């Protein structure tokens, strides 16, 4: 059964496997990251957690078109077998938090490992990176999922295709 928590509820877990990101569109790249998180959590016998943002940071900073509502993202996380979703309200005060403050928040979830891409950034002005995260947690990189043309699947690419009116091409990238 999926549990949804707002970040300010300060959820505490004894052990977990976490993935973090905007996950806008819950495309095939996201699905792989989440499936690996769920698979590892089952092997370890601990809870799987998706920590996500509302709105997606790119929608907040760059006014990007939002592909999936929070409600729809939650439904897709549920289908992928996630145990917990933590939703951070991505607003002005949240964006000003330091990387260390975010790390302290993650500590409450006691992650055995964190699954994010090598280019993951966090904290004000994107100051925190994977090297900083690795000082506190085991961080396991995810192999990039590409489309048949060989380019990385991303929410940005899907937004571009929608703007070009090429909905058909978004389907193999979204995988739903």
Ligand X SMILES: Nc1ncnc2c1ncn2[C@@H]1O[C@H](COP(=O)(O)OP(=O)(O)OP(=O)(O)O)[C@@H](O)[C@H]1O
Ligand Y SMILES: Cc1cc2nc3c(=O)[nH]c(=O)nc-3n(C[C@H](O)[C@H](O)[C@H](O)COP(=O)(O)O)c2cc1C
Contacts with ligand Y by CB under 6 A lie at: 21-22, 57, 61, 94-95, 97, 102, 120-126
Q: Looking at residues 149 to 168 of the shown chain, list those that interact with ligand X (rule: CB under 6 A).
A: 152-156
**Cα–Cα distance between 76 and 84 in angstroms, integer?**
13
Longest dimension (CA), the chain: 47
* Interface region with ligand X, contact rule CB under 6 A, candidates 68-76, 80-88, 89-97, 148-156: 148-156
- The least distance separating ligand X from the CB of residue 53, rounded to whole angstroms, comes to 9
Residue nearest to ligand Y (CB): 21
Preceding peptide of 106 cis, ω within 30°: no
Name the residue nearer to ligand Y (CB basis): 44 or 137.
137
**Cα–Cα distance between 79 and 76 in angstroms, integer?**
5
Task: Mark 44-63 with x for binding to ligand X (rule: CB under 6 A) and - for no binding.
Answer: --------------x-----
* Strands in 90-148 per DSSP E: 111-116, 139-141
Q: Which of 81, 73, 90 is nearest to 174 (CA)?
A: 73
Q: Which of 29, 26, 32 is nearest to 52 (CA)?
A: 26
Name the residue nearer to ligand X (CB basis): 47 or 154.
154
Q: Which of 61, 29, 67, 35 is nearest to 48 (CA)?
A: 35
Question: Are the CB atoms for 52 and 85 separated by under 8 Å?
Answer: yes
Residues touching ligand X: how many (CB under 6 A)?
A: 20
Per CB under 6 A, 121 contacts ligand X: no
Name the residue nearer to ligand X (CB basis): 134 or 152.
152
Q: Which does 155 bind (CB under 5 to 8 A by kind): ligand Y, ligand X, none?
A: ligand X
- Residues of this chain that interact with ligand X (CB under 6 A) are 21-24, 29-30, 32-33, 58, 116-117, 120, 142, 144-145, 152-156
């Amino acid at each position: 059964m999926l549990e949804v928590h707002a970040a300010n509820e300060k959820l505490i877990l004894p052990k977990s496997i976490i993935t973090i990101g905007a996950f806008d569109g819950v495309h095939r790249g996201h699905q792989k990251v989440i499936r690996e998180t769920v698979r590892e959590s089952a092997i370890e016998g601990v809870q799987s957690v998706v920590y996500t943002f509302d709105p997606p940071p790119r929608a907040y900073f760059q006014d990007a078109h939002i592909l999936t509502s929070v409600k729809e993202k939650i439904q897709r996380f549920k289908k992928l077998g996630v145990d917990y979703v933590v939703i951070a309200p991505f607003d002005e005060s949240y964006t000003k938090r330091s990387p260390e403050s975010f790390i302290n928040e993650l500590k409450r979830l006691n992650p055995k490992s964190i699954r994010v891409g090598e280019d993951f950034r966090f904290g004000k002005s994107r100051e925190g990176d994977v090297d900083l995260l690795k000082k506190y947690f085991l961080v396991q990189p995810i192999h990039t999922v590409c489309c048949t043309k060989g380019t990385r699947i991303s929410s940005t690419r899907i937004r571009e295709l929608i703007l070009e009116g090429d909905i058909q091409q978004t389907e193999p990238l979204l995988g739903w």
